[in-house]
Structure 1
Amino acid sequence: MNLFRKKSISTLLTQSKSKNSLNKALGPFDLTMLGVGAIIGTGIFVLTGVAAAKHAGPALILSFILSGLACVFAALCYSEFASTVPVSGSAYTYSYATFGELIAWILGWDLILEYGLASSAVASGWSGYFQGLLSGFGIHLPTALTSAYNPVKGTFVDVPAILIVLLITFLLTRGVRESARLNSIMVIIKIAVVLLFIVVGVKFVKPVNWSPFMPFGFHGIATGAATVFFAYIGFDAVSTAAEEVKNPQRSMPIGIIGSLAICTVLYIAVSAILTGIVPYHMLDVKNPVAFALQYVHQDWVAGFISLGAILGITTVLLVMIYGQSRLVYAISRDGLLPKVLSSVNAKTKTPAVGTWITGIIVSLFAGFVPLDKLADLTNFGTLFAFMTVSVGIIVLRKTQPDLQRAFKVPFVPVIPILSILFCAYLLLNLPSTTWIGFCVWFVLGLIVYFTYGHKNSELAQQDLQAHAVNEKVS
């Protein structure tokens, strides 16, 4: 059993140009907008309040800096891979070329968890803001239909979350160019809303709210960093678009690093102003940014914030489901999942079947699973993927030193090692229940691989054909 058979980079590049490949329609601006669209969303509009109230207090700004450092190092590693191997599948595809099939499958299975649960968590956050907007017009949904199952609160299913996921799924099946154009419009509005919060909110900052600055100590900052790490998830989704980019060697590093830089600056500014307006212990609400403005009686801006948050979170949802569908497409094309998931619509050049199946599963999680459980598991999956990609850079530099690279990570192996250490530290600060949940998912993935993927993969079929030819010759 050859568990570590590798797919060569030349084969991957040839595969990306086949008849079953995707439409190449994206440029550097589209990628940057995809990155910003994916990053700024639930993390800044929803999780900032929880992280400040329960973990970091005003030192939330340090939590964002700590998480941002981990992401910067990982982003450099992703940029080298994405420009060198511009193929759908992101870290899964890179691992197939670097470590072999079993490791690639484990990482692909991990990414399915990351993108799937991230999408569900984002949809849950979107639902909260959407209901807040409706309540402003005097419209209130039945309690049972407003959130995931919680017998204490009397909720059973989050209907708005389910509906928005299905709507986004429909949009993604219409074509990548159309989806990217709509995403860019919503991202520009979203950035304008964040800047509006900064400009208006800075006038109401009271430095006394920043004291004590570290009420939970450094451990609280680290735990807060592990929690708000969810706010940075998204730049890696840019790499899933590599096969649909016109000039990936130039555009991929711009999209990945550019989007991360823009978002880090905005995050630091928002977290400082948020905790300066409202005492940190009052921020454990579902819509902390809008709540902060209502707290200082700036209701007119709070309305814009709610609208901007809805649009902003919609773009995150769009990019996450997009990334999930392209990941499933890549794994299916390699034969590790059923081939129907990689079938491409002749007209729209999108993996329509795989996108719909992804959307339906995400909608069910969004409708029935609480937000906090989704966010922690997503963080685990992402950190694991970042570590694997960082190790992959070191390995590929050793095994294929002459490989043509459009972008190179500086100071190898120092930068990849720093990425690994930062991510490992954040992993250790996640709750033990998250580790247990991930282990269950990991074991389930091994069962799927050994019962289906191992014997049905494209490389397995090639091995069987080669074996048959050798037997005939002998």
Structure 2
Amino acid sequence: MKHFLKRLMKKQDPAFYKAKDLHLTPSLTTKDLLGLGIGMVVGTAIFTLPGIVAAAHTGPAVSLAFLFGAIGAGMAAFAYAETSSVLPFAGSAFSWVNVLFGEFFGWLTGWALLAEYFISVAFVASGWSAYMQGFLSSYGWKLPQSIAGGFNLKQGTYIDLLAVIAIIAVGFLLTKGTQIVSRIENAIVVIKVVVVLLFIVVGLTSIHPENYTPFLPAHRPNSSFGGWQGLLAGTAQVFIAYVGFDAIAANTAETKDPAKTMPRGLIGTLVLGTVLFFLVSTVLVGMFRYDLYANNAEPAAWALRRSGHYLTANLLSLVAIIGMFASLIGIHMASSRLIYSFGRDGLLPARLGKTDQHNLPKYALNLVTVAAVIVAGFLPFTFLSNLVSAGTLIAFIMVSLGIYALRKREGKDLPKPSFKMPLYPVLPAVSALFSAGIFIGLSNASKLLMLVWFIIGIIVYFAYGMHHSKLQN
């Protein structure tokens, strides 16, 4: 038993990751990381979640849910910034926890991230599909009901065809190389931020102050709407907006001077993203009563159309359609790098850890594309938005706690960091507890599905990963 536990707690040598990741080409700068991060954060969530969360949980106080989410994500971002500056490896939290706590805990963290990434790709693609359909319907074009959404017998939908097309297109684009993709990403992000600012300016002209009262409605018994219960549930759901941090960190091995570049990209993304989320959500619930946004996956464009700003609404929809590709690119890249890391370590088939002639993880990218097509094609949008935050929160908890193990080794067998998490040793614990509190606020379905996912992951590890692990062998 003692030997068995020792195997589970065996830590990976950072030199192994450094040698293996030499196959990846460092090409990303601070500007590229901000493009990836803002592309993720100011993506599907900003165009879709404020209305849905306001109607289902918070009422007009949806902006507070985004602020609370930003506080939790911000503390985690400090932990990510310090860890990535010391351990600049592909796989982000999976690789870091492997080095700090041992392979089994690293695998569980990576397995949680895998759920987050797959579902995030599907969530973004489903949001893109909803906006595309709204844009087409404004011109009188409508898809057949059977191919207009995830599997839902009551609504008569069987597959979200547009979401499938989006994922395949992005998967193909990513085979063209990181530098080309980052240039496209940066251009899209600039256009998207300009249009978000345009929505804020135009939306301010259509605000009705009475829509802000009561700001935080009273709690409805036996529900997750209103009161602090609704605010906690809303914060848990909007946490998907901040998965961009981990998506940035997943590309650390392909970043130039990651010790300095990575902290700038992570913290810059947090600040810019939070400001835009707060402004958009505040304007949106001021334009129309919050309950009118129920189950509306394109609330911003809908609010503009209903208030008579048709040109701005169509421009927003068009840019959202293009801009959501920036989110899809970022999370698709992060997913393939995580799968690559599993293959690199031998925890999944070794072929997944190989790169092609362009130094890209081709096999991992293909697997992510196929899996995301299946998930996005058949699961409904609102179900995906509830589920995705669970994996993120688990990673945030582990990376925050990892700071304690990291500090003991910095300047000894690990390099000294170029950035340190402030208020040590208090803030790492507060960060972990904050993320744990939000995790508790997730729906019971989300927590149950994450438990099932963990059980599957444990089976995979003991049936395959432990026996093929390069660390164990």
8 Å Cα contact 1:334/1:457 also seen in 2: yes
TM-score normalised by L of structure 1: 0.95
Moved more, 72-81 or 213-222: 213-222
Aligned length: 457
8 Å Cα contact 1:391/1:416 also seen in 2: yes
1:66 shift after superposition:
0.6
2:338 to 327, 331, 334: 327
Q: Secondary structure at the match of 2:434?
A: helix
Render the CA deviation track for 1:405-448: whole Å, top value 9, x for unaligned. 12111111222112112111111111111111011000000110
Partners of 1:241 and 1:192 in 2: CA distance? 26
Could you tell me which residue of structure 1 aligns to residue 392 of structure 2?
382
Structure 2 counterpart of 1:292, one-letter code: A
Q: Secondary structure at the match of 1:140?
A: coil
For 1:253-332, what aligned pairs fall within 5 Å after superposition?
253-284=263-294, 285-332=296-343
Q: Secondary structure at the match of 1:333?
A: helix
Moved more, 310-319 or 256-265: 310-319
Structure 1 counterpart of 2:31, one-letter code: F
8 Å Cα contact 1:27/1:251 also seen in 2: yes
1:424 aligns with 2:426: no
Could you tell me which residue of structure 1 aligns to residue 220 of structure 2?
none
Structure 2 counterpart of 1:122, one-letter code: V
Structure 1 counterpart of 2:17, one-letter code: L
Moved more, 412-421 or 381-390: 412-421
1:3 aligns with 2:8: yes
1:15 shift after superposition:
2.8
Render the CA deviation track for 1:212-231: whole Å, top value 9, x for unaligned. 10111222111111111112
8 Å Cα contact 2:27/2:178 also seen in 1: yes
Q: Secondary structure at the match of 2:24?
A: coil
Partners of 2:325 and 2:167 in 1: CA distance? 9
Render the CA deviation track for 1:312-362: whole Å, top value 9, x for unaligned. 22111111111000001011101001011122111x211111101111110
Could you tell me which residue of structure 1 aligns to residue 221 of structure 2?
none
1:401 shift after superposition:
5.9
Taking every aligned residue pair, what percent have the same amino acid on both sides? 39
Partners of 2:229 and 2:446 in 1: CA distance? 18
8 Å Cα contact 1:278/1:295 also seen in 2: no
Could you tell me which residue of structure 1 aligns to residue 223 of structure 2?
none
8 Å Cα contact 1:12/1:85 also seen in 2: no
Could you tell me which residue of structure 2 aligns to residue 411 of structure 1?
423
Partners of 1:136 and 1:276 in 2: CA distance? 24
1:399 shift after superposition:
4.6
1:229 aligns with 2:239: yes
Render the CA deviation track for 1:171-193: whole Å, top value 9, x for unaligned. 11110111111111111111011
8 Å Cα contact 2:40/2:241 also seen in 1: no
TM-align CA RMSD: 1.1
Q: Secondary structure at the match of 1:393?
A: helix
Structure 2 counterpart of 1:435, one-letter code: K
Moved more, 267-276 or 128-137: 128-137
Render the CA deviation track for 1:55-78: whole Å, top value 9, x for unaligned. 101111111111010000000000
1:398 shift after superposition:
2.9
1:446 to 437, 448, 458: 458
Could you tell me which residue of structure 2 aligns to residue 470 of structure 1?
none
Could you tell me which residue of structure 2 aligns to residue 213 of structure 1?
215
Structure 1 counterpart of 2:278, one-letter code: I
Structure 2 counterpart of 1:198, one-letter code: I
Partners of 2:240 and 2:249 in 1: CA distance? 17
1:270 shift after superposition:
0.5
Structure 2 counterpart of 1:364, one-letter code: I
Partners of 1:189 and 1:411 in 2: CA distance? 37
For 1:39-438, what aligned pairs fall within 5 Å after superposition?
39-215=41-217, 216-284=226-294, 285-346=296-357, 348-400=358-410, 402=412, 403=414, 404-438=416-450
8 Å Cα contact 2:247/2:331 also seen in 1: yes
Could you tell me which residue of structure 2 aligns to residue 465 of structure 1?
none
Render the CA deviation track for 1:218-263: whole Å, top value 9, x for unaligned. 2211111111111222121100111111111110001111011100
Unmatched 5+ stretches in structure 1:
462-474
1:12 aligns with 2:23: no
Render the CA deviation track for 1:283-333: whole Å, top value 9, x for unaligned. 111210111111211111000110121122211111111100000101110
Partners of 1:179 and 1:371 in 2: CA distance? 26
Partners of 1:35 and 1:78 in 2: CA distance? 13
8 Å Cα contact 2:20/2:344 also seen in 1: no
TM-score normalised by L of structure 2: 0.95
Partners of 1:9 and 1:344 in 2: CA distance? 20
8 Å Cα contact 1:34/1:319 also seen in 2: yes
1:371 shift after superposition:
1.6
Could you tell me which residue of structure 2 aligns to residue 455 of structure 1?
467
1:378 shift after superposition:
1.2
8 Å Cα contact 2:410/2:417 also seen in 1: no
Partners of 1:343 and 1:10 in 2: CA distance? 18
1:114 shift after superposition:
0.6
8 Å Cα contact 1:43/1:232 also seen in 2: no
Render the CA deviation track for 1:439-468: whole Å, top value 9, x for unaligned. 10000001100111001011122xxxxxxx
Partners of 1:427 and 1:290 in 2: CA distance? 31
Partners of 1:394 and 1:460 in 2: CA distance? 25
Q: Secondary structure at the match of 1:452?
A: helix
